[in-house]
A and B are shown apart, each in its own frame.
Chain A
Amino acid sequence: MSILNATTTSGVVLTGDTTGNLTIQSAGTNVATFTSGGLTYADATTQSSASGVAKAWGKNNGGASGIVSSYNVSSITYNSTGNYTVAFTNAFSDANYAVMSGAFVSSASLALRINSQSTTGFTCETLSNTSSDNNAGWAFSVFR
């Protein structure tokens, strides 16, 4: 893996190889890696300080059926019909983040309402005029 390291003593130091991958370092610490698949941040903490990227996201089947996939989410708790708590793996420094969300249902009248936000997670609720849709699947992303 080729490494481009911004050092505090020698400036930029390049260590090359033929993998086709490039890792960016700051004073010897990995920040991000470019591969043929795209950009990957070194860890969630590094990504959380980057601008313009989702700091957390998740997709849920709805109800008690659980999580399909996620990032920077430690758990999703089903509390009652349509009512959930999302917990972040790495907490934010404050609760001033934006949650974008949507639900998977044919009804046009279903909405996902954010009820509360904290540094460690948020609570939300799926709302519909058709009770059978209240446990529809839903997804979210978090930006800050």
Chain B
Amino acid sequence: MIAALFFYLFSAVLIASAFLVITSRNPVHSVLFLILAFFNAAGLFLLLGAEFLAMLLVVVYVGAVAVLFLFVVMMLDVDFAEFKQGFMRYLPVGGAIGAIVLLELVLVVGGWRVDAASLANVASPAPPAMSNTLALGRVLYTQYAYLFIAAGMVLLTAMIGAIILTLHHKVGIKRQDVAAQNARTPKDAVELRKKSFRQGV
């Protein structure tokens, strides 16, 4: 009963905030509604018992992706009102395509039955009496160790690539060198001169 209540609560807020993401005038509001949508989706995952996926959604999407979005939206001076100018003009075409896709989705998902044979094929089925996180931890570094390392190599490649394409070593920049600063003595930094009185410099 309570689960059903929360399901409808999360779903309603999710749909409403997803709608507001595309309709709100201010792009910053859009991103904030996107974050709200992510939180509600995480809640739905929790209700399904997929607590690891829920936490991942919050950590990765809210913590990294959405903040990055917010950063970009605030950094770049994009005139979003200009993008939306043709909104009403293209609404019939866009709406028609959306309706067709929705219809297709309903037909496909409505007619879809999970094949019993395909369920038997699953390589690592969810073990009973074990939390998601524990089950993942059991296979991630054992059964999937090879793939885990391969993913690590992909990330290393991305890092090297980002550095090689964007890092410019500029010459002639004055940088603070603490050791050089500390090594300075009054002898080589200060010069004392006798000046006669009332003569100016």
Bound pair: A and B? no
Residues of A within 8 A of B (CB): none
Residues of B within 8 A of A (CB): none
